[in-house]
Structure 1
């Protein structure tokens, strides 16, 4: 059995929906979907229905786009996230709210841990105070739609929600990894700040993760860490840990660059 991964499907795009429907079936293997499937429940349902019959099991983690309050009148904040979890669980997909299962890929056993950490604006220079972080980004013309579209309710702000999510994930990882089994960590946002390279808008790093997760890959014996968000697909090794950025992205970013049979990246097996 093998583990494949993909993220940032952005199914608001007709071309992305058509391409996803043609993905190569791998009925004996698992597929991790590391967030930004789309902006609506319909986008998530489409992905789960299109991929569910082509893989033995799906694993889903949310990205910021799933948490946007679209369409108007839809659930917001934690309620929206919980609704997306319900949709996944109803179709048998593993979520960050489920137990971390053991699975054998390529003859080795791993503990598979889908995460939801969000971000807290800590991916910034040390001399930029937290209170001035968003203004610092705006000075360079950098804005993120999350500031309007991603409601953190019932939390007062997104960093507070991030703190709650990291507290929960850290407790669960500590308990689940006590037996020493190597892990596969799956999260939409990169776990390390040094992985965030956005040449055209470097100050966008504010919305790309939290320093809180920097030591998780080593502490929790990660064999591989899967993420998306950056739309910069590739492999990076840091301190002996392999990091796979598996974004598809918008059509202009992947067209003529990613073949249909390579939409999903093989990460184990």
Structure 2
């Protein structure tokens, strides 16, 4: 099927608009073509009003915005206008998106018919279950103990509530099962673009400066989804290490903007909107893609992979 529009499928994540410099980046985001779609892959902000501001702005500019939640949108903070927790907070954000015309993991998976299509866009909300454990640990309890001993503990432990689920990993397993059933029902004749805030495989977390942080970065339950299904690309964020990698022949795009202290550290400017479809051709512009040399690899390890206690 030929493309029916000239639009491109673009993506960004971890825009953290509570930072004025990041808010300015979002204010400058515009489509290159009238038919461009934008995937917003979580961590827009912590406060409901900030999420609303950013999604409303982007929905007014792009032909279609697709949002998936990160961990920060799910935080319950005393200074927020809503005190909802857990599933109720997530559903409030879904309702917000419905009013803005923004698609979410609760909507039917939309068909992309622009350049590089057709492809079915699969927005997902999966969380994590502490199975990306640090070396030398074999249980969630051991992994958490190692994190507390190292002083590297995600803020989710105190402000991301799983209500009505007993734990965040219980919530994760429920979301994984729900999403797996929907994926199993997808026809295999149209390739999928899987979109989730957290990486679907553990490999991208191997370069984190603090390996104990990986336990808040995904679940082993999705390790084979990129090969189990007909997948054209996987899009994620969370790690604040933007790059293109390939696993089992499938392209993975980490599309974070990150905090100002992080993106300012890059020696070369990078696009804040990553093209997903059509698939980029030629050599990616640094820092997108694998580091070209050891100095670039070191910049990832010592720059973006630090200070992930967010």
Q: Do the structures match in fold with TM over 0.5?
A: yes
Give the Cα separation in 1 of the matches to 2:243 and 2:51: 24
Task: Give, in whole Å, the separation in 1 of the partners of 2:222 and 2:76.
Answer: 26
Please list every run of 5 or more consecutive structure 1 residues that lacks an aligned counterpart in the other structure. none
Q: TM-score, normalised by structure 2?
A: 0.82
In the TM superposition, residue 200 of structure 1 has moved relative to its aligned partner by: 2.3
Matches within 5 A, 1:105-124: 105-124=114-133
Please, which runs of 5 or more residues in structure 2 have no aligned partner? Answer: 1-6, 279-310
Separation of aligned partners in 1, 2:51 and 2:157: 22
Q: Distance in 2 between matches of 1:151 and 1:139?
A: 23
Higher Cα Rg, which structure: 2
Distance 2:24 2:247 in 1: 35
Q: Report if aligned partners of 1:31, 1:55 keep a CA contact under 8 Å in 2.
A: yes
Q: State the match for 2:199 in structure 1.
A: 190
Of 224, 237, 250, which residue of structure 1 is paired with 2:259? 250
Q: Which has the higher strand share?
A: 1
Give the match for residue 3 of structure 1: 9
CA distance in 2, matches of 1:36, 1:116: 12
TM-superposed CA distance for 1:259, in Å, is 4.6
Give distance in 2, aligned partners of 1:59 and 1:114. Answer: 7
Give me the whole-angstrom Cα distance separating, in 1, the residues matched to 2:156 and 2:117.
Answer: 39
Task: Give runs of aligned pairs for residues 27-42 of structure 1, distance below 5 A.
Answer: 27-42=34-49
Match of 1:236 among 234, 241, 245: 245
Structure 1 38/129 Cα, relative in aligned 2: closer, same or farther at 3 Å? same
CA RMSD of aligned residues (A): 1.6
Q: TM-score by structure 1 length?
A: 0.94
Q: Which residue of 1 aligns with 2:21?
A: 15
Match of 1:104 in 2: 113
Relative contact order, higher structure (CA 8 A, sep 6+): 1
